Amino acid sequence: MEKDILSVLSQDNKFSKGQRLIAKYIINNYDRAAFMTAGKLGEEVGISESTVVRFASELGYSGYPEMRKAIQEMIRNRLTSVQRIEVAKRMIDEKDILKSVLSADIDKLQTTLNEIDQDSFDKAVNNIISAENLYIVGMRTSTSLATFLGCYLNLLRKNVFVIRDTASSEIFEQLIRIGKDDAIIGISFPRYSRHTVDAMTFSKSKGATTIAITDGSNSPFSGISDINLYAKSDMVSFLDSLVAPMSLINAIIVAVGARVTDSSDVFKQLESIWSEYDVYESGNI
């Protein structure tokens, strides 16, 4: 289903009495319904589990789990930090938080590996290498990802610019010279940054190639980005897991490094500079 599930549920004129009860409950309690079983949802509403399952099928889902997943995906950009904490209390075993979080991260890495599009990845790498100027933008929690990517790509090629999130007007000032021979990488995960989306929209209007690193086709980058690279993230209490996005970024850096012919020479020069200026602690005891 392509439409926001809440929009579909709001069209209650075509639902039966029991279905209207389900729809109303989900609309008013989506943060709770997103993690309920069909039986629990039916119990809360006062109808049978089978009615809930049939309702999901009639909405076009393969079953109730797929409908619940759609609700989960939809709410990720709607929940406040307080709501996220409450959701996490229901999702995570407080007695084994370490195992719960690490296991969830492993699942996100595996899902990303299974679903990543190799052609899109190759196109992104080609554009990163060939662009005259490369801009990278990522705000809020994605700032660390943008900074990390920019740090390494700056060692591998010229004219890499990481856009800083100061004031909205200053973002456009940093992008004022972007053009058709340039590329921009936009990084954003729920809750999506409006400034990042605006920067990508502006860059596209100037003719630049837009590359998105985000979580899926429901991202606000849809329709803006020329190339999409999807990495799975998820809510972990009030924060987001960015393990899979970081792994994807690692892969981009390694792929670019493998293609840049003078990368070894650059790092030889850097090692000499780092040694001369004592950038790193000596390994000698």
What is the pLDDT, as a whole number, of residue 272? 81
pLDDT along the chain (285 residues), means of 10: 69 80 87 83 91 90 86 69 60 70 88 94 97 96 94 94 80 94 95 91 97 90 94 69 94 93 73 77 62
Integer Cα distance of 154 and 159 in angstroms: 7
What is the pLDDT, as a whole number, of residue 28? 86
What is the pLDDT, as a whole number, of residue 2? 47
Task: Answer yes or no: are the C-beta atoms of 10 and 22 closer than 8 Å.
Answer: no
Closest CA to 233 of 194, 190, 185: 190
Closest CA to 259 of 140, 157, 135: 157
Domains of the chain: 5-75 (1.10.10.10), 111-259 (3.40.50.10490)
What is the pLDDT, as a whole number, of residue 1? 45
What is the pLDDT, as a whole number, of residue 284? 56
Task: Answer yes or no: are the C-beta atoms of 122 and 247 closer than 8 Å.
Answer: no
What is the pLDDT, as a whole number, of residue 250? 96
